[in-house]
Structure 1
Amino acid sequence: MDYIIETHNISKIYGDFKAVDSINLKVPRNSVYGILGPNGAGKTTLISMLCTILHPSSGNATVNGYDVMKNSKEVRRSIGVVFQSRALDDILTGREHLEMHAALYGVPSELRKQRIEEVLDLIALGDKADEYTKTYSGGMKRRLEIGRGLIHHPKVLFLDEPTLGLDPQTRENIWHYIQELNKKEDITVLMSTHYMEEADKLCDEIAIINRGHIITSDSPKNLKRELKADVITMRVDDEEKFIKEAEKLDFIKSIVKIDDEIKMMVESGENLVATLVNFANKNNIIVNSIELEHPNLEDVFINYTGKRIIEGA
């Protein structure tokens, strides 16, 4: 396997706080790789070290074969970056933004016009290229930022929460552009996100991060398959009593209370819905609702941490 990004026990420590704690990653070339976790988990810090913006406290990493500490200039030439915070100048047009970044990244002047047109086509902003960015919608601005990160033909594009704050329809449009650029530009995409659906839909492989640690990593399909369980979610009138009694049931793999819901991992859940309702009735517990689902990435996160990924976001 050809890995374009590799980290070896990379850490970032601020005083007594470990923002990133001995993380090991291997990102395959030309893949879409996701770092999935709540805000504050260490995603942005990790990306900042891989982009050479922050120096690791310990450990090391390579990007496109270059050491992030020893070969920082070569790393920066190899990457494009789109961070959470917007960084567009309202008094420039979309084309002017791309022209400026092409010059900054040393794209030869005779190639700039062609490359700018290619990028404008890729991000579907050709008809808006000569309008000021202050007139752009949130989705258009995000697409322009992605295009700006592509202008110099990077080998790796880092996207830090690429669809944060966008409406669902615009978010899906951005997903489409990310998938297209991965195919058309022959580029590796490493993105951070706390959106489960985003990671599930876009990523060939994900690493789930919490409190600076990588909990597990694999393809979304394999992570869900590893649970080997269905998820039964119940709402009852006496949660503490139900959990206390249900913990004695052999067929429940795990049980956790999330807000006003009780989530249980079980095998062959379709055979147990009626059993659990009867069990609650026998213990004088009223069932307000019960739902059976196949596991998703949030269930994977809950299984490892006992809480939802949006907590602390």
Structure 2
Amino acid sequence: MEEFDSGDYHDKFSSFYTYIRTIGKGSFGKVVKAIDKYTGITCAVKIIKKSSYSDEVLSALRFESEILSSLDHPNIVKFLHVRESDNRIFIGMEYIRGGNLSDLIQNKTISESKAAKIMTGIFRAVEYLHNRGIVHRDLKPANILISNPKDLTTVKVADFGLCTQLGIFSRTDEKCGTVIYMAPELAAGKNYNKEVDIWSCGIIMFKLLCKGKHPLYRQKDTKDSYFAKLQNPKWVFPKNFSPLAQNLFLKLMKIPPIERYTAGQVLAHPWILQKNIAIPLTYLEKMRQLDSDMKLRGFVYSLLFASLIYPSN
């Protein structure tokens, strides 16, 4: 048999792989666990049916494999090979045993120290990608794989099916990705840059600290109502969200993309480093504090003045 048959692939084989089981669905294709017949290595294989996509999309998928083959970072899933038959494209990647972040966060309390370790791994990968002019465009918990539950800084970013490389031939105005992780400029179809990944990371961070709850999206939301929220988001933090965590989150979620933290800045933030330090007040916060101090001072002066005029016997 030349390639995987359609369906669930049970008891089906190809000239390339021995099928074990289906482990998920990535952008553009089903992902299976299989044994590479040439090397004997267990791998994750994304299977793309050519007839389901245009030539332009298939070119983009081949581009994904080119990008993956050029990457070498401990927090990015390792690319193994790309193979083709008459009807399908197979992208082979290292198999990660620990599942993904989506499984980890559902209705589970994750401490800030654990969340910081996970975000450290994610931002190390993002910094590496951005330094090479690569924008992932679909960062979300399902695309973050857990390689070692005992060392959460070793999480790996996966599924580069929607990534793009910044340059004169790349489009950065096409709307793509998962709606509830999209930055406002991406959702609006405006020109965008690597800052869209930073926004997505902010959503992931919030969900880590809030048992999988999204900071904006609610079940009753339509696509349009959610996009409307993106234009003027109202952030509400639960009590377990520390001031340092809030400070970092707000740096990631600035509406003007240019004001968002870079991945490098994030990695130097005290929350990521788990350093318990006081956060410098912003100008507005300083003015509010000064106003509060002035009111208190005025109240004290009025009491002193009253005591002088009406001394007690």
Instruction: Give the TM-score, by structure 1 length.
Output: 0.27
**Larger Cα-atom Rg:** 2
Higher relative CO (Cα under 8 Å, sequence separation at least 6) belongs to 1
